[in-house]
Amino acid sequence: MEKLVEIRWHGRGGQGAKTAALLFADAALNSGKYVQAFPEYGPERTGAPVASFDRLSTKPIMLHSGVTNPDVVVVLDPTLTDSVDVTEGVLEDGIIIINTAKSPAEIKRELNITGNIRVFTLDASTISKETIGREIPNTPMLGALIKVTGILDFKEMLEDTKKKLEKKFKSKPEIVEGNLKAIERAFNEVRSQ
Amino acid sequence: MTVTKSNIVAKTGNEAMAEAMRQINPDVVAAYPITPATEVVQIFASFIADGLVDTEFVPVESEHSAMSACIGASAAGGRAMTGTSSQGLALMAEMLYIAAGLRLPIVMADVNRTLSGPLNIHCDHSDTMMVKDSGWIQIFSENAQEAYDNMLQAVRIAETARLPVIVTTDGFIISHGMERIEILDDDEVKKFVGVYTPKHYLLDFDNLITLGALDLPDYYFEHKRQEIEAMINSKSIIADIGKEFQTKFGRGYELFETYRLDDAEAAIVAMGSTAGTIKVVVDDLRSKGKKVGLLKPRVYRPFPKEEIADALKDVKIIAVMDRSDSMNAQEGPVCLEVKAAIYDASTSLSIDPEHGRRVDKAKFRPILNYIYGLGGREIRLDDIEFIYNELFDALKGTDKERVNYLGVRE
């Protein structure tokens, strides 16, 4: 990973796009990378489209402008594609990962994605409902992101997330368990085109 | 310092500043919340709640009161800190002059946000610039690491110079952006900041003093002159503490930073987070053979004018970027300082009876001013490249505007 990797997360306010970006950066940091994670600050409200970003590199990151040409786009909410152009600025050999029950081929057709952009899909909403008990697609999408990009070591990341969740949810071990299961399922169930 | 994995953490600028405050463990923190600085004192308040610090927190009803409480605490002999932004800093303005005039070493985190109106919560430097003449030392941070390091140094600087210090970060860009930073061990910080032993303080009952008394025309000027002298002297204090920090912890700090400036033909002068973005462009243009460089003032007050003029003496042309406007129908506040510095470095103070005023024409260089990023307007790599291209254009003989408004629709 010599070059800078830039990731854009799309979600709706309250879905955890910011948290996912922060979690991912923190996991990358623990694997020795230089990181940045930041949300886009607009008129954010619950349910409104929001975006957040990650930058990862093996070298110190000095850049402090927004991400315009991401290597990877992660979409937490499939209904966003009606109102937000999630493909905007994606690099020609970039990756798009969408939370949907549809196949990558269907998404490619719907969003009119051509060229070398690779599309992956994951039914993260269903997975999170079955494992965590609530629709929180951000943690399973984290698993999909790591599988698809290979940027981080999956086992290391899982350990790291476990530690963090255990600290945050001391009195609720079932939440920790559910989240870890969600990430593992995502890792195995993400579909490529 | 030995860097271990536990010293490397991912923190936002606000978290980094709060962490520095935890390690400093001040006697009093008085603050009122305001976006985007709220987290600094909110996180710090949680440290108090968790028993991690001994600080007395004063939850006041306004920023004016926050600064007033800090003044009281500092005058009493305590280490006092606060954090604010934008309108909050504006509301403090009256008390800022009093804190400096009373020579109280208060340290404040200010997250740079534009001043209303129109109402806007995003970054520019207009809030800090509004109080540039208040007698506070002003230190700008490029990233979360510098914000953390500057906060630690600020305590020492303030208490040595006996002047209050503002440490700034760029709102949202740094305050809410998470980055990799290296933190020091609590013990190292404790040793570095030391124990505050004020020379004079109100609660010293063996040596009673009066503070804040009426100072009439017979002595006010002398007292103000001492404050000015303290600001002049603070330059070497800041430089020395930056060197000490480097010796102890490996990260060096000077009054300003230069980046690939040595043989540069075209230089940009810029403060805050944009300096990082400029470094990326400098590296890119250098790889294409273009001689470009950056000068990033870290300390805006006191302004290191001789040192900056000297660092820029060999460049052929300069662009100064200002993230605020002085509304003076001429240049922005950083550009005016750089121009004054270069004017003074290029002219003698006496008149030669035969030849008139001695002017070193070679030292006069074209200086373009770019007002940018007001109200959080995004600044991108190509904006910076555009400025360097304009400078090279001017070097080829094309006349440019003195003051330019980067990326604005007109």
- What pLDDT digit, counting tens, does each position of B186-208 carry? 999 999 999 999 999 999 999 99
Compute the average pLDDT of residues A31-46. 85
Q: pLDDT tens digits, residue range B5-64?
A: 579 999 999 999 999 999 999 999 999 999 999 999 999 999 999 999 999 999 999 999
Chain B interface includes A41 (CB < 8 A) = yes
Tell me which of B7, B85, B179 to substitute to probe the interface with A (most A C-beta atoms closer than 10 Å): B179
Torsion of CA B224, B228, B331, B359, to 10 degrees: 120
pTM of the entire predicted model:
0.95
Share of residues in chain B with pLDDT > 90 (%):
94
- Of A35, A41, A62, nearest to B10 by CB-CB distance is A35
Chain B interface includes A4 (CB < 8 A) = no
Among chain A residues, CA nearest to B382: A65
pLDDT class for B79, splitting at 50, 70, 90?
Answer: very high
Number of domains in chain A: 1
Among chain A residues, CA nearest to B278: A63
Chain A interface includes B379 (CB < 8 A) = yes
Interface of A with B in 60-99 (CB under 8 A): 60-66, 68
CA distance B7 to A177: 29
The edge-to-edge listing of strands for the beta sheet with B367-371 is B256-259, B292-297, B266-269, B317-322, B367-371, B403-405
B280 sits in which H/E element: helix B274-287
Among chain A residues, CA nearest to B281: A63
CA distance A127 to A185: 7
Subunit contact B380:A25, Cβ cutoff 8 A: no
A82 token code pair:
């009606």
pLDDT at A163: 86
B14–chain A nearest CA distance, Å: 13
Subunit contact A65:B380, Cβ cutoff 8 A: yes
pLDDT at position A41 over 90: no
Name all domains of chain B by residue range, CATH numbers in brackets: 5-249 (3.40.50.970), 256-405 (3.40.50.920)
Tell me which of A64, A152, A168 to substitute to probe the interface with B (most B C-beta atoms closer than 10 Å): A64
Among chain A residues, CA nearest to B36: A41
B18–chain A nearest CA distance, Å: 18
Interface of A with B in 17-36 (CB under 8 A): 22, 25-26, 29-30, 33-36
pLDDT at position B365 over 60: yes
pLDDT at B5: 58
Question: Which H, E and C letters describe chain A, residue by residue?
Answer: CCCCEEEEEEEEECCCHHHHHHHHHHHHHHCCCEEEEEECCCCCCECCEEEEEEEEECCCCCCCCCCCCCCEEEECCHHHHHCCCCCCCCCCCCEEEEECCCCHHHHHHHCCCCCCCEEEEECHHHHHHHHCCCCCCHHHHHHHHHHHHCCCCHHHHHHHHHHHHHHHCCCCHHHHHHHHHHHHHHHHHCEEC
Chain B interface includes A133 (CB < 8 A) = no
Subunit contact B380:A26, Cβ cutoff 8 A: no
Compute the average pLDDT of residues B300-309. 97
Q: Are B256 and B305 in contact (CB under 8 A)?
A: no
Q: pLDDT tens digits, residue range B374-407?
A: 999 999 999 999 999 999 999 999 999 999 999 9
Supply the range of the domain harboring residue A35.
5-192
Q: pLDDT tens digits, residue range B88-111?
A: 999 999 999 999 999 999 999 999
Among chain A residues, CA nearest to B172: A41
CA distance B373 to B351: 42
CA distance A8 to A125: 19
Compute the average pLDDT of residues A2-11. 91
Q: pLDDT tens digits, residue range B126-155?
A: 999 999 999 999 999 999 999 999 999 999
Compute the average pLDDT of residues A1-20. 88
CB pairs A-B closer than 8 Å: 62
Residues from chain B contacting residue A38 (CB–CB below 8 Å): 172-173, 176-178
CA distance A26 to B179: 9
Subunit contact A35:B380, Cβ cutoff 8 A: no
Subunit contact A61:B179, Cβ cutoff 8 A: yes
For residue A151, the domain's CATH number is: 3.40.920.10
pLDDT at position B2 over 80: no
B299–chain A nearest CA distance, Å: 20
Among chain B residues, CA nearest to A34: B180
Contacts with B294 (C-beta within 8 Å, 6 or more apart), sequence order: B257, B258, B259, B260, B261, B267, B268, B269, B270, B275, B278, B279, B282
Query: DSSP alpha helices (H): ranges in B77-219?
Result: 86-101, 126-130, 144-161, 186-193
Helix, coil or strand: residue B74:
helix
A68–chain B nearest CA distance, Å: 9
Residues from chain A contacting residue B143 (CB–CB below 8 Å): 62, 64
Among chain A residues, CA nearest to B381: A65
Subunit contact A62:B274, Cβ cutoff 8 A: no
Subunit contact B280:A63, Cβ cutoff 8 A: yes
Subunit contact A38:B178, Cβ cutoff 8 A: yes
Indicate if the alpha-carbon torsion angle A108, A114, A119, A125 is positive or negative.
negative
Query: DSSP alpha helices (H): ranges in B318-380?
Result: 333-346
Considering only the C-alpha atoms of chain B, give the largest distance between any 2 of them, rounded to a whole number of Å. Answer: 74
pLDDT at position B165 over 70: yes
pLDDT at B3: 53
CA distance A123 to A98: 8
pLDDT at position A61 over 70: yes
Tell me which of A36, A62, A160 to substitute to probe the interface with B (most B C-beta atoms closer than 10 Å): A62
pLDDT at B1: 46
pLDDT at position B230 over 60: yes
Helix, coil or strand: residue B231:
helix
Subunit contact B276:A22, Cβ cutoff 8 A: no
